[in-house]
Amino acid sequence: MRGERRMVLAHSSRTSGSGRPRSSSRGLIAEAAAELFLEHTYTGATVDDIARRAGVSRATFFNYFGAKSDLLWVEVDEALAAFELTVASVSDELSPMDAVLEVVTRLADAFGPGRLPLAVTQVELMGTDAELQASALPRFLALVRRLEAFIAERARAAPDALLPRAAATAVVGAAVSAAAAWARAGVGRGALTPLVRTAVAPVCAGFASQL
């Protein structure tokens, strides 16, 4: 375990998971947090520790992150921030569920061997399992709501209709399952997109005749 921790630390010091510029305060904070989580685990590293390692003040930390748990989701939150742009780029000629599949796979395109959430792929070393589960739920529900609204609009359904909500929940659940399998795959993992498409495509096909 110690040997693996040293190897991951060495990799973390050479490059950040998302390739963000080291000169960015946000990027420096994220890199400092990753190093400290690997050295001392998630619970063993405080916000003050992270700010000190990054060379910024506590106030600066909270200018970029609302909570320590947000550091576990930097890459994911950056990808989800592109949701509206991704939706806008999808052809209007696609059926609702084909459009959903296109949106979800495009979001997955943001991840691969060169860009992955370190805290997700190094759960045991960082001791992040419990915090990941707790902080994942708000993001899961937020994505469901956004996808539900997209499906309802495409299908010309009422915003609170049952089928768009059911479809969105099923799609996000399938995508999360694919992401979990991808994270567990280890250093040999490839791109996330093929796994997401494999998991989400049958869900979209199942709802296609109803929406």
pLDDT string in tens for the chain (211-residue length):
444 444 444 444 444 444 444 447 888 999 999 899 989 988 899 999 999 999 999 999 999 999 999 998 888 888 888 899 999 999 999 999 999 999 999 999 888 776 767 666 667 777 777 888 888 888 899 999 999 999 999 999 998 899 999 999 999 999 999 988 888 887 778 889 999 999 999 999 999 999 9
DSSP tag of 164: H
Contact 159, 71 (CB under 8 A): no
Q: Where does 47-161 have alpha helices with state H?
A: 47-54, 58-64, 74-80, 83-89, 96-108, 118-121, 123-126, 129-155
Q: In angstroms, rounded to a whole number, what is the distance separating the alpha carbons of residues 158 and 75? A: 33
- Full-model pTM: 0.80
The domains found in the chain, sorted by start residue, are 2-67 (1.10.10.60), 72-208 (1.10.357.10)
